[in-house]
A and B are shown apart, each in its own frame.
Chain A
Amino acid sequence: QQQVKQSPQSLIVQKGGISIINCAYENTAFDYFPWYQQFPGKGPALLIAIRPDVSEKKEGRFTISFNKSAKQFSLHIMDSQPGDSATYFCAASWSNDYKLSFGAGTTVTVRA
């Protein structure tokens, strides 16, 4: 069964707008939550990651918000740019093995 559920499946945002992607997980043993960006024909690349001891982490235009009690986390892409057009995957793992459980992905299209 899918351990990480991701929504929406796709979104379109205007240049300069905010993209928000949401994920929910089931396994309370998870203690590492990365977001990956994938372009067509390429492997996923780590964008930003968070551990459950913090509620928010920001790196440049990318912010993760984490709600441990709700078992939810989200990615906010601020000031979206056409180069951000890609598929984004949330994932979760626990630090014993770092075996990643991925969400189904969100295709983001940024219109100029």
Chain B
Amino acid sequence: DTGVSQNPRHKITKRGQNVTFRCDPISEHNRLYWYRQTLGQGPEFLTYFQNEAQLEKSRLLSDRFSAERPKGSFSTLEIQRTEQGDSAMYLCASRSPGAQGTEAFFGQGTRLTVV
């Protein structure tokens, strides 16, 4: 395991369908973050976990979005009843615990297109 892994890399879905993305962080990284990046913009924070506990959710995360991290390992991000405005790159990042664990390592993202 050499990095953060995200699956699928690309997802095309019809408006109104549900989608689920998976993120496998670097082993032993206790913090896991989800970000959303639209074209030409910087990533925007969505939510983060410390182990299995979801510590914060952004106001960007509507009720249609839910994230989980069972057992503090991989995480899933589900979007229900997708809308065209959900089209974006969804990025996952993880970082190690402790004062030295400042760097967040990002996965390659899942690009969602809602048609």
Chain A positions within 8 Å of B, measured between CB atoms, are 4, 6, 32, 34, 36, 41-46, 49, 89, 91, 95, 97-105
Contacts and interface: CB of A to CB of B under 8 A. Distances in A.
Nearest to A101: B45
Contact of B43 (A32, A34, A46, A100): A100
Contact of A104 (B31, B41, B102, B105): B41
A49 B4 CA distance: 20
Given A42-B108, A43-B91, A43-B108, A98 B102 contact: yes
Interface in B26-69: 31, 33, 35, 40-45, 48, 55-56
B115 interface: no
Contacts of A101: 45
Interface of B: 4, 31, 33, 35, 40-45, 48, 55-56, 91, 93, 95, 99, 102-109
Nearest to B107: A43
The 4 closest A-B pairs by CB, nearest first: A102-B42, A43-B106, A43-B108, A89-B42
Given A89-B42, A104-B41, A46 B104 contact: yes
26 contacts: A32-B102, A34-B103, A36-B106, A41-B108, A43-B91, A43-B106, A43-B108, A43-B109, A44-B91, A44-B106, A46-B103, A49-B103, A89-B42, A91-B42, A95-B99, A98-B102, A98-B104, A100-B43, A100-B45, A101-B45, A102-B43, A102-B44, A103-B42, A104-B40, A104-B42, A105-B41
